[in-house]
Amino acid sequence: MDGWPMSISLQGIIGRGEFERALNFSVADGEVLAVTGPNGSGKSTVIHTIAGLVPLRSGQLQSDNITWDDPVAKIWVTPEQRTCAVVFQDLRLFPHMNVLSNVAYGLRAHGVTKDEAIERSQKILIRVGLASFEKRRSNDLSGGERQRVALARALVLEPRVLLLDEPLSAVDVASRAALRELLPEVLGGFTGATILVTHDPGDVEALATRSLGLK
């Protein structure tokens, strides 16, 4: 694996509050790494550390040979500069914006023009099956629909690294099946690296190419 630029490579100690653990893994383009483990094993912390919301305690976090986080060398790339996108476990859709604005938010933050942002957002909404949902408010949507908005919001940014934190946990059983069908389709078309946090072996089975178990 040496010499191949990894989309994401973490080698060090992650931590949040009292919690700490050592980790060493990397994910290449096209791979889907499932991170599994019981509650409290640090699965979410992995996502938050890669996204830049939580710093490494020690070690290095790199993407494509660019260091994002190195406490000893005092290197830190801010979250907004990192080429990753997150679908949070609690989704975190912006309540004061409609679906289209939610999806377009990241594009606009990156300087994309309003027209182009709208166009790209509309396309991704069609891909996740929410074609007519543009003007709706996130509060009016079902769990499954909100999950798809969160997914669209991340995918539209065409990130190098896609981080999914328990993507099916906030969804009711009925919608879960539909999403389980949608995800591989969407992830299949995604060219970057994906890290999928889940406690459901069914998800690992259906979606992952590799898995990493945290105990």
Phi, then psi, of 133 in degrees rounded to 5: -95, 10
Closest approach of other proteins to the CB of residue 30, in Å: 22
Stretch that binds other proteins, among 21-29, 77-85, 135-143, 194-202 (CB under 8 A): 77-85
Q: Determine if 105 is a binding residue for other proteins (CB under 8 A).
A: yes
Do 10 and 45 touch, CB atoms closer than 8 A? no
Nearer to other proteins, 15 or 159 (CB): 159
State which of residues 38, 92, 116, 210 lies at the interface with other proteins (CB under 8 A): 92
32-36 and 193-197 beta bridge pairing:
parallel
Residue indicated by tokens 């406490």:
71
Residue 34's SS3 state is strand
State which of residues 12, 15, 42, 106 lies at the interface with other proteins (CB under 8 A): 106
CA atoms within 13 A on the CB side of 81: 8
State which of residues 78, 132, 139, 191 lies at the interface with other proteins (CB under 8 A): 78
Tokens in use for 175? 């919608």
Nearer to other proteins, 87 or 204 (CB): 87
State which of residues 8, 157, 204, 208 lies at the interface with other proteins (CB under 8 A): 157
Q: Determine if 139 is a binding residue for other proteins (CB under 8 A).
A: no
List CB contacts of 181: < 8 A, sequence separation 6 or more.
none
Closest CA to 94 of 52, 131, 160, 141: 141
Stretch that binds other proteins, among 34-42, 64-72, 75-83, 194-202 (CB under 8 A): 75-83
Sites for other proteins among residues 47-66 (CB under 8 A)? 51-53
User: Which uninterrupted H or E stretch holds 206?
Assistant: helix 201-207
Rg (CA), the chain: 17
Residues that bind other proteins (CB under 8 A): 51-53, 78-80, 82, 84-86, 88, 90, 92, 94, 96, 105-106, 109-110, 153-154, 157
